[in-house]
Amino acid sequence: MLVMGGIVGSGIFINPYVVAMQVHTPFLILGAWLLGGALAMFGAFIWAELATRLPGAGGQYLYLREAYHPSVAFLYGWVLLLVTQTGGMAAVAVAFAKYFREVAGFGGSDGAIAATALLGLTAINCLGARAGSNVQSVLMILKAGAIAAMVLIGMSLGGVPPLRATPLLDRPVSFDLVRAVGAAIIPVAFAYGGWQTSSFVAGEMRDPRRDLSRGLIAGVIGVIALYLAVNFVCLRVLGPSGLAATRTPASAVMRAALGERGAQWIAVGIAISTLGFLSQGILTAPRVYYAMARDGLFFRSVGWLSPRTGAPVVAILIQGAAATIIALSGKYEQILNYVVSIDFISFGMTAASLFVFRRRPSPNSAELYLSPGHPYTTALFVLACAGIVASTVAAYPFHSVFGFVILLAGVPVYLYWSK
């Protein structure tokens, strides 16, 4: 549930239309989601082995530190705080704002609503892990109900299916087709992201070598099935052109099935589900900033724990403030573009760390989970990450450069703290 909760946010409810704008046949649309799922599965295999090798707190930060150098781990934590985690949370908060305005008829800006949601959840998580986890548990149940309702109602009451015999491809095999598929993978990759966040809390699990590896694989498989079902329903009810024409595909499906009342119901469910995703991120990611401070690579105060609740309050507040600033600064698509390029650089480097660890002797070799297909699946994952970064830079150069500037800005900061 932790793995799935870290993946399923707003991406599956909004990104299908972004994919359909790039490729225009059911085969290519579903193929993009299946390809993204396969990539996430390879990643789950890799992270499962890394979790059994290094079952400490901090997850990806710990893997990069031990495989390469503390500077690499610091830059990961730096961009996690300023770009990937906070940017992803900001994008989800903006998605929440879109659905909230649809439900409530509220006339405020998306940025203001998103900022209010982020600050509210930040305040709740500052009260302690119990308060944050209780809120997240309730939101997770409602999230699962919203997704199940959309799939079942869309399949049974969605009207006459617009799907009919169509060509597999929407254009001849060419560089243009490759470019379009690459652009379609960007929002898919964003929607599948988040499984790695479960590794942040490995240090607090009773048996991370067993449970985290199993949870990563089972959770990603569940999400792949869920995402393919949602996209199939969207295509069945709306068709490729109708899917590309709406910015709220989940509401459009429910509107076709149950009228305006259905659209209102699913909008409420999706708005709540996005809050659940935000709550999960606010609960898990501050442990990375806490680990950085513990290593002497961040403000000492960030490593402070509340004596009453045990929560890393300063780390939570810094993350909430950064996500709020990003939410107020750009649109959903802009946030998405500069998050993905930086995120997949860290994914590729973390996956490549498995080659490093495989060359080192392991004292607990009998307890290791071994990634299936390594080194081939690992190399394929690394290459796919590089391809996604290249596609993002080619399609959105300005936003990608903005992310890279933030990444490079962390170098002098690391040199300062390392002294």
Q: At residue 261, what is the residue type?
A: R
CA Rg, the chain, in Å? Answer: 21
Q: What pLDDT digit, counting tens, does each position of 238-267 carry?
A: 888 888 888 878 888 888 888 888 878 887
Q: What is the pLDDT of residue 333?
A: 56
Of the chain, the end-to-end C-alpha distance in Å amounts to 41
Distance CA 381, CA 414 (A): 28
Name the residue among 285, 163, 273, 169 with its Cα closest to residue 226: 273
Q: What is the pLDDT of residue 329?
A: 77
Average pLDDT for runs of 10 along the chain of length 419: 79 84 88 91 88 80 92 90 80 82 75 88 79 74 81 76 65 80 82 80 72 85 90 88 84 84 81 82 84 85 81 86 82 61 87 93 74 91 88 79 86 88
Distance CA 127, CA 390 (A): 41
Q: What is the pLDDT of residue 349?
A: 94
Q: Interior CA angle at 282 toward 348 and 122, to 5°?
A: 150
Distance CA 44, CA 222 (A): 12
Name the residue among 360, 391, 359, 364 with its Cα closest to residue 375: 359
Q: What is the pLDDT of residue 380?
A: 92
* Residues in CB range of 390: below 8 A, 6 or more apart: 182
Distance CA 142, CA 138 (A): 7
Q: What pLDDT digit, counting tens, does each position of 350-409 carry?
A: 999 999 999 988 766 667 788 888 899 999 999 988 988 887 788 778 777 887 888 899
CB atoms within 10 A of CB 152: 13
3 state DSSP class of 370: coil
The label of the residue with tokens 């190399």 reads 379
Q: What is the pLDDT of residue 379?
A: 95
Give the side-chain half-sphere CA count within 13 A for 335: 27
Distance CA 36, CA 411 (A): 32
Its pTM stands at: 0.80
Distance CA 410, CA 16 (A): 34
Q: What is the pLDDT of residue 265?
A: 83
DSSP 83: I
Q: Tell me if 269 sits within 8 A of 55, measured CB to CB.
A: no
Q: Which two tokens stand for residue 207?
A: 């048996």
- The yes/no answer on whether domain 2-418 falls in CATH 3.40.50.620 is no
The per-type count for the chain, helices as H runs and strands as E runs, is 17, 0
